Structure 1
C-alpha cells in the first residue's frame, strides 16, 4: 500500500519563514494574504485592549503585524543599500537587473512577499536620507542616525498613552503568574460573573466566596466579605495600612509613589499582587473544583508566600529591614532574611 505525503501549503511555508533573518538565504517574508486576513480582526481588537509596551499598559509582546512590517523594512534596506548578503545580491542582479528598487513595479507573477516588501517603500520614504554617501535613518524627531531595526520599530509603531501604574505590576522579583493575573485584574479583563451575566441573563450567578451577589473585579478585590477579611489581615503587615478596599483605588494610590529598591516598595507590591492572585485562585477552586478554604487559610497562604519571597532578598541592615522582619515574623542575619 502506497503512503501519500501531503505537501505543505504555500501559506504555511510563508508563515513559517517570515521570522528568519540575519544572513539567512530566506528573506523576512510576510504572512500570506490568508494569514493576514485571519489575524486582522483579532489583532485590531487586541492592540486596542493590550498595547505592546508595558509602560503603555500592555503585556510587553510586540503586535505581529507591526513587527512583521519592521522586519520587512530590514529586507528593503538591504536591497537599496546593497548590503553584503546573498539574498540582497540576488535581488539586485536577477530581479532588479541592476535597477533601483524605488522604481520597481509589480508584475503579475511576483510573489506575495515581494509585493509586501515593495509596499513598505511608501512608509519609509520620508525616513531615508543620504548622508556623506551612505544611507541613514531619519527619526520622527528629525535627527539622523544609523539604521537599526529597533529604531525603525520605534518610529513606525503606533504610540499609545503611557499609564502610571505599570511599575505597580511589572518589576523584578514578582512571580509571572501573579503579575499576569494582577495585570488582567487592573484592566478589568478577568472573566468575572458580571461579564458572564450578559451572556446568560437567565442563569442565577452568585459569588463563590460570599454567595450573596455576582462577583466582579471591584467585588472580588476587596469588597466581598471573604476577600475583605483576607485583605484586612494582610494589610496590617504593610506600612500603608490606610489602603482602601478597592483594587482600582489601591493601584491608583500605589502608582503615585515612585518605584525604588526600598524594601517597603517591594513588599507592598508583592503583597497586593499575591492577595489578588490567591483570592482569584480560591474563587476558581470553589467554582470549578468545589474545593473550599477559609479566609484565614487563604491569608496564611499569602503570608507564607511573602515570607518565602523575602528569603530570596539580599538586604542591608536598617530600621525598615528590622521593621519588615518583625511584622512578618522573621529575622535578619548576614544581609538575608531568615525564618524565626
Structure 2
C-alpha cells in the first residue's frame, strides 16, 4: 500500500512519513484493500489538509477474487509480467538476433523472481537452511512476503536486524549466482554447500563490524562463532 506504485502519482510513502502512518494506527504492510471501507479511504480526514496530494488518489475498484501480482512497466508505458526476460528486453541495448538465442531464453525456463526467491524447491531448501542462523523463523518462501516481513527491521541497527538483512541479501545473491552457473556453466552445487557459502560470507562481513553490548548481542555472537571483541562495552 505505502511503497508500491499502484497509482500513477507514485507511492504514498513519497508524501507521508512512516511515523505518521504508524501513529495513525496503520501497518506498514497494509494492502490497498486494507485501507478501503465501503468505497471510501480509511485514512483520517485531516490527512487531506496535511497532504493535499491525497485528493488525487482515487479509490480503485478491487476484485477480491483476483490475486496481487508484480508487473513491469516497459519504456513505452506498457505493463507486462515481471520476468527477467521482459526486464532485460526493456533495458538492454538491442542488436541483431544471434544463433544461440534459444539456449538462453526458452519457454520452459521458470525465470520469474517469485520462483527464484524462493519458491522453487532448490532455493526454498537453501532459504530454510539459513533461516535459523538469522532467527527469521516462519518467514515464507515468497519474495514479496519476505520483503514485507523484513521491512520493519530494515531501518534498525540491532544485531538481529543486521544479521537478518545480511542473510537475506547473501541468500538472494548466491541463489542468483547458482542460477547463472547452472544455465551458462553447467555447474551445480548442492543446497548444503550453498548454505555454508552464504553463512561464511555473512560471518566474514559480521567480523568487520562492532556491536553494542547486550545479552542478546552476546548470544548471537556466540551463535555465529564470532570473537567477543566485536561487542562494545555498555
Q: TM-score range with shorter-chain normalisation? A: 0.5 to 0.7
Counterpart selection for 2:108 from 186, 196, 205: 205
Match of 2:122 among 226, 250, 263: 226
Gaps of 5+ in 1: 1-54, 59-157, 165-184, 207-213
Q: Provide structure 2 residue ranges, at least 5 long, that are not aligned to the other structure.
A: 15-69, 73-80, 90-100
- Structure 1 counterpart of 2:84: 191
Return the alpha-carbon distance in structure 2 between the equivalents of residues 231 and 301 of structure 1.
13
Could you tell me which residue of structure 2 aligns to residue 239 of structure 1?
Answer: 135
1:289 to 185, 190, 195: 185
**Alpha-carbon distance in 2 for matches of 1:186, 1:266:** 30
Rounded to whole Å, the distance in 2 between the matches of 1:186 and 1:322 is 43
2:57 corresponds to 1:161? no
Provide the C-alpha distance between the structure 2 equivalents of 1:278 and 1:334, rounded to a whole number of angstroms: 26
Cα distance between partner residues in 1 of 2:143 and 2:107:
25
The match for 1:251 is 147
Mapped to 2, the partners of 1:278 and 1:189 lie a distance apart of: 21
Mapped partners of 1:327, 1:303: distance in 2: 12
| 1:233 CA displacement | 0.8
Could you say which residue in structure 2 is the equivalent of 1:277? 173
TM-score, normalised relative to structure 2: 0.55
- Say yes or no: does 1:308 pair with 2:158: no
Q: Contact conserved, 1:186 with 1:247, CA < 8 A, in 2?
A: no
Match of 1:182 in 2: none
Shift of 1:243: 0.8
C-alpha spacing 1:273/1:258, structure 2 compared with 1 (3 Å): closer
Query: For residues 186 and 241 of structure 1, what CA distance do their matches in structure 2 show?
Result: 29
* CA RMSD of superposed structures (Å): 3.8
> Residues 126 and 192 of structure 2 are in contact (CA less than 8 Å); yes or no, is this contact kept in structure 1?
yes
- Count how many residue pairs are aligned between Structure 1 and Structure 2: 154
Pairwise CA distance, 1:240: 2.7
Distance in 2, matches of 1:186 and 1:247, equals 14
1:331 aligned to 2:227? yes
The superposition leaves residues 171-222 of structure 1 with CA deviations (integer Å, 9 ceiling, x where unpaired) of xxxxxxxxxxxxxx998866259999xx97x94524xxxxxxx232111111
- CA distance in 2 between partners of 1:315 and 1:205 (Å): 47
